[in-house]
Chain A
Amino acid sequence: SSVLTQTPSVSVAPGQTATISCGGDHIGSTSVHWYQQKPGQAPVLVVYDDSDRPSGIPERFSGSNSGNTATLTISRVEDGDEADYYCQVWDSSTDHWVFGGGTKLTVL
């Protein structure tokens, strides 16, 4: 079954670019989805199918996926982007949905 590995924390200054990674064996061969969760709130889908954005999500949020690493990139980071970010895949071998452990993004 899939195991997704995320760096526990990332820090970035406002206006800079944040890169959040999600590692997994051959993750590039499946679709990866990303969620933002702020304290006390439900998660929000920010990227699906590697690089698509739901309506209402700023273009500053982008994704890529290749080899053993998927990446969520947040450009021109704002204070409001401070949150936990989770990657997720659907494991077709087990019909299970799998989340990464999460990355806490701190805006300095």
Chain B
Amino acid sequence: EVQLVESGGTVVQPGGSLRLSCAASGLTYSVYWMSWVRQAPGKGLEWVASIKPDGTKTNHVDSVEGRFTISRDNGMNSVFLQMNSLRAEDTAVYYCATSNFFFRYWGQGTLVTVSS
């Protein structure tokens, strides 16, 4: 059974930093693009960032470019999202997902709240 388990979500002040983690099991992790997708309260899904299987290429949505960085550790079957200069509008549930063109497997999400 494929499992993706996110961690690291919490309450953080505007301007602060946070690192999210996602641990994968039950799949051949090293062949998958991995992504972070977020959902603000009461809103729709928004793709945030993706990373190639070997980690040599990343993509980020324009609204987080320069503030968020996706990375991965294939030895640990894990993907990370380093979030800096956080803003109120970054408040959301953050999901990690496999993303070879579409998002087949999803985690249950971790809540990030940016508030003073």
Contact = CB atoms under 8 A, between A and B. Distances in A.
Interface of A: 31, 33, 35, 37, 42-45, 48-49, 54, 84, 86, 88, 90, 95-102
Interface residues of B, number: 19
Interface of B: 35, 37, 44-47, 50, 59, 61, 95, 99, 101-104, 106-109
Contacts of A54: 104
A79 to B, nearest CB: 23
B45 A31 contact: no
Nearest to B52: A95
B25 to A, nearest CB: 16
Given A42-B95, A97-B50, A31 B101 contact: yes
Contacts, number: 54
Given A42-B108, A43-B37, 5 more contacts: A33-B103, A45-B102, A54-B104, A86-B44, A99-B45
Contacts of A97: 35, 37, 47, 50, 99, 103
Contacts of A37: 45
Chain A's interface: helix, strand, loop or mixed, by majority? strand
Contacts of B108: 42
Contact of B106 (A31, A33, A44, A102): A44
Given A44-B106, A102-B45, A96 B61 contact: yes
A35 B47 CA distance: 13
Contacts of B47: 96-99
Contact of A48 (B37, B46, B61, B102): B102
B45 A35 contact: yes
A21 to B, nearest CB: 16
A101 B46 CA distance: 9
12 contacts: A31-B102, A33-B101, A33-B103, A35-B45, A37-B45, A43-B45, A90-B101, A96-B61, A97-B50, A97-B99, A99-B44, A102-B45
Residue with the greatest number of chain A CB neighbours at <10 A, chosen from B35, B45, B102, B107 = B102
B45 A45 contact: no
B96 to A, nearest CB: 10
